Amino acid sequence: MSRLAQWCSRVFMVEINQKTEPIYFALSSTPSARNKELEALFGSGKLFSVHALGDDRVQSARSHAHLKSALTEDLPPGCQLLDTASFLPDVKNSLVRGFFLRDNSVLSSAERVVTHLRQKGSVCVFTYTRGQNGDYLCSDEADEPAERERRYYVTPAPAPLRHPSTLNIINSDVFYQMKDAYKVLQECSDVIPESKAVLELVEAQQLELNSIHDERFPVIVIEGLDATGKTTLTCSLQKALGAVLLKSPPQCLAHLRPRFDSEPPLIRRAFYALGNYITAAQIARESSHAPVIADRYWHSTAAYAIATAVSGREENLPAVGSEIYEWPHDLLRPSMVLLLSVSPEERLRRLSHRGLDKTEEESQLEINHLFRRKVDEAYKRIQNPACIVVDANPSPDHVLQQVLGLIRNKYNLQTPGH
């Protein structure tokens, strides 16, 4: 069967921009009636869909990232690069991400770029052209000549019940047991040698974890978007409660973080997931003799991963109660999770006062209101334990007193020296 024939059972989603509904279409052997949305998408220029190919998930994820940078760098003005994905409606793990190229340049420049990519291999390129009757046809130049005689028409497809970008979240963006995240880093240890160091640290902590038994003191996690005041509050809480302050990712991974931050979501998120297991072992050890305050933990890992994976608006997030928001069964659960919430204006004011270099994700937060809303909403949907939202707009001392009140209400903790 030709590659194009195999893709006939799939639906394509093209995202014109993050704020509007995507356009869905499928391939069929029969033409369909004219459709305004498709005409707006295809227009009169030439169109290509490009997907990276890979033998395994690590290679596919890295090839997709390389393809994006190649296309972004090489495409001249007049060409438009849109995110696209193909999927089997409501079938988990069926999503394949790619790009749509709209070429309205006078010199058909995209065609040259695409031909070059095709020659290099490891990409699948479909070309879309307008037929004599005004319908749109899809072809694959890699097909045998006889197969190329067959006609594949673009036909509109209905929007699926679940947004397609939610289909692959489990075990690609969010990991629900240590062994799944561990496996990802094992699979990439040839191409990313730093993975071995992470795996060794996880192993060492797990061995130690077996000798730790009881958890007597409360474990309080402080969560929130960047610049919401986590560092300020966790340091104050540490002093006020005589607590041990921990972070996720833990200090022992700090030097490896930039390496994994530059990798595609599959690898990056597996790294952060494993960081939580190392922090969990530290929490188990420390909470046997003092209260523990943790600056970020699993809520952050899951909320950022979900918000990045789910394209478009907040409404596209998995529904409240979805399994996607469940806590991993093998990860130590904290006693309390507090989510610091500040208004967008106050957060920006704090970010600008701080004046530090921002990570790429932080800059994205600043310009991307939609993304920030999705992270915030995902935080609130995570269950068992769910987070308690704290108004963190007031002064540092006011926020501290508020949080101490919440903690003391639940646990009979004394301030040192009182």
Ligand X SMILES: Nc1ncnc2c1ncn2[C@@H]1O[C@H](COP(=O)(O)OP(=O)(O)OP(=O)(O)O)[C@@H](O)[C@H]1O
- Positions in the binding site for ligand LCLUPRNS (CB under 6 A): 226, 248-249, 272, 275-276, 296-297, 300-301, 304, 359, 361
Residue of 15, 223, 226, 286 interacting with ligand X (CB under 6 A): 226
Tell me the C-alpha distance between 377 and 325, whole Å.
11
**Is there binding between residue 399 and ligand X (CB under 6 A)?**
yes
Q: Which of 149, 353, 412, 418 binds ligand X (CB under 6 A)?
A: 353
Return d(Cα 222, Cα 297) in angstroms, integer: 8
361 binds, among ligand X, ligand LCLUPRNS, none (CB under 5 to 8 A by kind): ligand LCLUPRNS
Length of the chain: 418
Size of the site for ligand X (CB under 6 A): 15
Q: What are phi and psi of 353, to 5 degrees?
A: -70, -35
Minimal distance, residue 226 CB to ligand LCLUPRNS, in Å: 5
For 137, the 3-state DSSP assignment is strand
CA distance 408 to 320: 30
Spatial contact of 173 and 181, defined as CB atoms under 8 Å apart: no
Residue type for 295, please?
D
Both tokens assigned to 87:
């999927």
297 vs 280: CA distance, rounded Å: 9
Stretch that binds ligand X, among 81-89, 142-150, 163-171, 230-238 (CB under 6 A): 230-238
In the complex with ligand X, the residue whose CB is nearer, 310 or 365, is 365
State how far the Cα of 155 lies from the Cα of 31, in Å rounded to an integer. 7
**Contact pattern from residue 375 through residue 394 relative to ligand X, giving x for each residue in contact according to CB under 6 A and a dash for the rest:** -----------------x--
**DSSP designation for 320:** T
402 lies in the site for ligand X, by CB under 6 A: no
Structure tokens at 291: 């209260």
Helices (H) and strands (E) in the chain — how many of each? 15, 13
Q: Which is nearer to ligand LCLUPRNS, 100 or 272 (CB)?
A: 272
* 345 touching ligand X, by CB under 6 A: no
**Collapsing DSSP states into helix, strand and coil, what is residue 152?**
coil
Does 255 sit near ligand X (CB under 6 A)?
no
Which residue from 116, 196, 255, 354 is in contact with ligand X, where contact means CB under 6 A?
354
Question: What is the Cα–Cα distance from 238 to 275, expressed in whole angstroms?
Answer: 21
Site for ligand X contains 395 (CB under 6 A): yes
**DSSP H or E run through 68:** helix 57-74
The entry of ligand X, ligand LCLUPRNS, none near residue 325 (CB within 5 to 8 angstroms by kind) is none
Residue 206 site contact among ligand X, ligand LCLUPRNS, none (CB < 5 to 8 Å, cut-off depends on kind)? none
In the DSSP assignment, the letter for residue 163 is -
- From the list ligand LCLUPRNS, ligand X, none, pick the one residue 272 interacts with, judged by a Cβ distance below 5 to 8 Å according to partner type: ligand LCLUPRNS
Question: For ligand LCLUPRNS, which is the closer residue by CB, 149 or 360?
Answer: 360
Pick one of ligand LCLUPRNS, ligand X, none as the site partner of residue 228 (Cβ within 5 to 8 A by kind).
ligand X
* Beta bridge pairs of residue 153: 28, 137
Contact footprint for ligand X (CB under 6 A): 224, 226-232, 350, 353-354, 392, 395-396, 399
